[in-house]
Structure 1
Amino acid sequence: MGTRAIKQQVLGLLKRDDLAGIETELVLFQEKELINALFFGICHSEERIRWHAISVMGRAVARLAEQDMEEARVILRRMLWSLNDESGGIGWGAPESMAEIMCRHEGLADEYIHMLISYMRPDGEEECQDGNFLEHEMLQQGLMWAVGRLAQYRKKHLLTRGVEHDLPPYLESPDATVCGLAARAIGLLGRTEDMGQLRRLRELAKTDQRKLRLYDQGHCSTVSVAELAELALLELQEVE
């Protein structure tokens, strides 16, 4: 089967509702061919295709890593390059896909999680300050989702690198998705220092009607910033 035909078949499967069923069928593809097709999916304009591609990418690259770790590293480096200004691209879906891969493979998380975190941090004057801050709000959306996802599987990796200190500024974002997903990540990481800001977001529920789409456990739902702030407070067991 040619590359174009594989791409069309993979994208067709990603349109389905059942993620488990999609993964069962896609596992029959050779990993490299599948991953190349998934790169078209992770930046797709259709929500279901994009998120299913991100989920499948995580499992596919993790399987590839078990066969050939260097080839899996090449995939991660390709995603990192897509976020580089010099690449000429935008990097849609790259932070989310990197997070999903690292959730599925601890070895890749050990090697690359510091790079994902660097996109939350600005460049500094000191040699050790090697931030790669993402200014584009849509990329920040993906980054906040990525941190929340990693908090579910690689919490220790994140806390060891102090990522909890990078999240509070995102609670001030005018972008509903960035703000709401930052609140969710804070709750998942157990950062109690930010409860005051989370309470403020929760109390704004009457006047702040900002909504966002949340992908979790294979499904998308519409939630409000205030709802995610309240859920974060519940995680911290501090809802009053």
Structure 2
Amino acid sequence: MKEKLKEYLINSDWDGVRRLASTRKIILSKLLSFTFNPDEEIRWKAVDALQIAVGIWIKKDVKAVREFCRRLFWMLNDESGNMGWFAPQAIGAVLAGNHEKLANFFPMLISVLDGDERPEIVKGVLWALGHIGPIHDDFAREARFRIQPYLLANNAEIREEAVKVMQKFNIQEKEG
């Protein structure tokens, strides 16, 4: 299954991902493993595929999806022993596509910024906030407030990500 899934990711075969996801809950774990792939393109495609797969499984087993989300947040914890650098992006994709049933995880995502100073994690959380915020107005207000300090961050990559996210929010306001 993992090789077939990798083939789907490489080819951006989202219908193939949907077919696998419709019958195999283990796809969530398999896709998560691809967020550790050395190939950045595969990591990003795994994030996109997670949004698709969770969208299917949330209709079948909300409890399992919530547990999966908790697992993603655990990966951000130093005690987990994981180097879950792409966990924030995975969280952002999962929450963006499944707002109503996973809304309780939004405050948890925002709170990651309270004490985590690892640039990879901060940048990933900012990306996640930018991915979710333009889709969900109620979340965007709180996220915008929390992102503003990062516009002045010493780390250039974090600053750039914060600017991109704020631009997404501003575009959303103008269109709305």
SS at the partner of 1:186? helix
Alignment match of 1:43 (pick from 14, 36, 39): 36
Distance 1:41 1:10 in 2: 9
1:45-72 CA-to-partner distances (Å, cap 9, x unmatched) read 2111000000010111121111010011
Identify the residue that residue 15 of structure 1 maps to in structure 2: 10
If each structure's helix is expressed as a fraction of its own residues, which one has the higher value? 2
Identify the residue that residue 148 of structure 2 maps to in structure 1: 168
Alignment match of 1:25 (pick from 8, 11, 16): 16
SS at the partner of 1:134? coil
SS at the partner of 2:25? helix
If each structure's strand is expressed as a fraction of its own residues, which one has the higher value? 1
SS at the partner of 2:32? helix
Distance 1:70 1:105 in 2: 13
Map residues 1-240 of structure 1 onto 2, 5 A cutoff: 6-16=1-11, 19=12, 22-29=13-20, 30-121=23-114, 133-159=115-141, 162-190=142-170
1:44/1:50 contact within 8 Å kept: yes
| Amino acid of the structure 2 residue aligned with 1:143 | V
- Tell which deviates more after alignment, 173-182 or 93-102: 173-182
2:66/2:102 contact within 8 Å kept: no
Q: Offset of 1:108 from its aligned partner?
A: 3.4
| Amino acid of the structure 1 residue aligned with 2:155 | D
Distance 2:164 2:91 in 1: 19
Could you tell me which runs of 5 or more consecutive residues in structure 1 were left unpaired when the two chains were aligned.
Answer: 1-5, 122-132, 191-233
Q: CA RMSD in A?
A: 1.9
Distance 1:31 1:115 in 2: 28
SS at the partner of 1:28? helix
Q: Which has more radius of gyration? A: 1
Q: Which has the higher contact order (CA 8 A, sep 6+)?
A: 2
Distance 1:59 1:175 in 2: 32
Could you tell me which runs of 5 or more consecutive residues in structure 2 were left unpaired when the two chains were aligned.
Answer: none
Distance 2:107 2:24 in 1: 26
| Amino acid of the structure 2 residue aligned with 1:28 | R
Runs of 4+ that moved beyond 3 A: 234-237
Distance 1:7 1:177 in 2: 33
2:126/2:162 contact within 8 Å kept: yes
Distance 2:51 2:90 in 1: 6
SS at the partner of 2:85? coil
Q: Offset of 1:9 from its aligned partner?
A: 2.0
Q: Offset of 1:86 from its aligned partner?
A: 1.2
Query: May I ask how many residue pairs the two structures share in their alignment?
Result: 172
1:190-234 CA-to-partner distances (Å, cap 9, x unmatched) read 3xxxxxxxxxxxxxxxxxxxxxxxxxxxxxxxxxxxxxxxxxxx7
1:93-128 CA-to-partner distances (Å, cap 9, x unmatched) read 11111111111112234121111010112xxxxxxx
TM-score by length of 1: 0.66
